[in-house]
Amino acid sequence: MQKIELNDEIYYENKGKFYNSSFLEVDSVIKNQLLCQILNSADYKNMSQKEIIDFIYKIKETEDFIHCKEICLFALNKFGSDEKFVTKVLPVITSIYRNLKEPEKAIDIAKEQRKKFKCESVALYTSLAGAYCDIEDYETAKKFANSAYKCQGGGVGYKNELSLVYARIQKETKTTKKD
């Protein structure tokens, strides 16, 4: 359990959850402030692969996409020869680029990494399907969505990111056909 001081108050972090001094979980505003404080003081350049992956996931939660992008790019440069590492980080960086309204960069980095490694994952394929939707290439978006669907073993019976991408493809291709 990590002890953190913020605004003269003591908080604790345990497995991604934050608690006040009474050990009650904090609201999302304080959680983001605590995360930002932890992340801004971290020396990510000296972290191991596992540490930096955990760090990347945490910083993405704060929606500090610019900082997260920098860390992902640093990590890919440092550990980019390890296929398992790239497979874990690639969906995050593609998602980050999409959140920064740079879907072309998401597609480019995925193409670059997928030339070196297979990098199959539901998260990556779903993110790429979304990126292709962002640039209005619905045919390629559908191919990646289908790959994600196949990778996850078919339907899961509830709304998830992949089902939302399928709905977006359907909606936007109907709109395009009417115009």
- 3 three-class SS: strand
- Average pLDDT of the chain, as a whole number: 89
Tokens 């997928």 found at: 114
> Which 8-state DSSP code applies to residue 157?
S
The pLDDT value recorded for residue 177 is 57
Note if the pTM is more than 0.85: no
Count Cβ atoms within 10 A of the Cβ of residue 35 and give its class: 0-12 exposed, 13-18 middle, 19 or more buried. buried
Per-residue pLDDT of 103-125, as tens digits, reads: 999 999 999 999 999 889 999 99
Yes or no: say if 47 and 78 are a contact pair by the CB < 8 Å rule: no
140-175: per-residue pLDDT in tens?
Answer: 999 999 999 888 876 654 557 888 898 889 899 886
Strand ranges inside 20-67, DSSP E: none
Task: Identify the H or E element spanning 155.
Answer: none
Q: Is the pLDDT of residue 52 over 90?
A: yes
